[in-house]
Amino acid sequence: MLVTQEFTVEVEGNTILDDLTLEYGPGVHIVMGPNGVGKSTFAHALMGKPDYITEGAVQINGKDLLAMEVHERAQAGLFVSFQTPTPIEGLSNYQFMRQCLKEKDVTIKESLGEFKRIASEYGLPDQWDKKHLNVQASGGEKKKNELIQLELLNPTVAILDEPDSGLDVDAINTLVRRLTNYVETDDSRCLIIISHYQQLIEKLNPQTVTVFKKNGTAIQTDDISITQKILESGFNAV
């Protein structure tokens, strides 16, 4: 679904990611690594951040991702969430989603109803659809907003950057339930989740774990016990 081959990312003259060959198929995949090693850079580079220089090859569902413009990558099925979503005055949470869904065959009644239903599942305030996008919202509310976007847009490959950040215990349980349902109800979906939260990792039962290293490389394994080893002994243990 998403395959990188000798993928290298340079930012402001510095090589942040070096020669990454990784493969993500259907299901859940976890990405870990120390602060500052390029986990978010990986996501932004795949989405096409304009000031990043990339080399190598990346395919999404057999198509050349790096040859696409940002909007084409989204249309091809790639979704990326952010550590700190940007607030936008004058644009409501639902209006934003409605614009994103313009090319999909869905009515306002259907999409608004689904928006409200998911917002309620996550315990967001009434009239959340009318509130301005990420304005005067807590960190947890911003993360929940992105999860609504994920479910409504229904991408093939989604990279979620610390979706558990700012969520309480109840919200974490809802997150696990909905993400698990997201991949189990459609075997063409792939979730790549940047997280160090052991409880979340264990409950999601990922197919692979990718550990980014300080030298810009990464290792990928299907041995999920590596997460416990990291939490007990640190990243230098792998």
Q: Give the burial class of 117: count Cβ atoms within 10 A of its Cβ; 0-12 exposed, 13-18 middle, 19 or more buried.
A: exposed
- pLDDT for 132: 96
- Name residue 187's amino acid: D
As a three-state string, the secondary structure of 20-54 is EEEEECCEEEEEECCCCCCHHHHHHHHHCCCCEEE
Domain chopping of the chain, boundaries: 2-237
For the record, the structure tokens of 39 come out as: 């986990």
| CATH classification number, 2-237, choose in 2.60.120.310, 1.20.1250.20, 3.30.43.10, 3.40.50.300 | 3.40.50.300
- pLDDT for 85: 87
For the record, the structure tokens of 1 come out as: 């679904």
Helix or strand holding residue 191 (H, E):
strand 190-194
- pLDDT for 168: 87
Sheet-wide strand order for 14-24: 14-24, 2-11, 52-60, 63-64
Q: How far apart are CA 238 and CA 235, in angstroms?
A: 6
Verdict on whether the full-model pTM lies above 0.75: yes
- pLDDT for 171: 87
Q: Which residues contact 182 (CB under 8 A, 6 or more apart)?
A: 150, 151, 189, 191
For the record, the structure tokens of 49 come out as: 């951040």
pLDDT tens-digit readout, 121-151: 999 998 999 999 999 999 889 999 999 999 9
pLDDT band at 82 (very low <50, low <70, confident <90, very high): confident
- Mean pLDDT over 210-231 rounds to 94
Q: CA nearest 110: which of 97, 121, 120?
A: 97
| Secondary structure of residue 123 in the 3-state scheme | coil
- Name residue 89's amino acid: E
- pLDDT for 102: 82
- Mean pLDDT over 189-217 rounds to 94
Q: CA nearest 217: which of 29, 37, 60, 12?
A: 37
What does residue 44 show for φ and ψ, rounded to 5 degrees?
A: -65, -35
Q: How far apart are CA 155 and CA 199, in angstroms?
A: 25
- Mean pLDDT over 193-211 rounds to 93
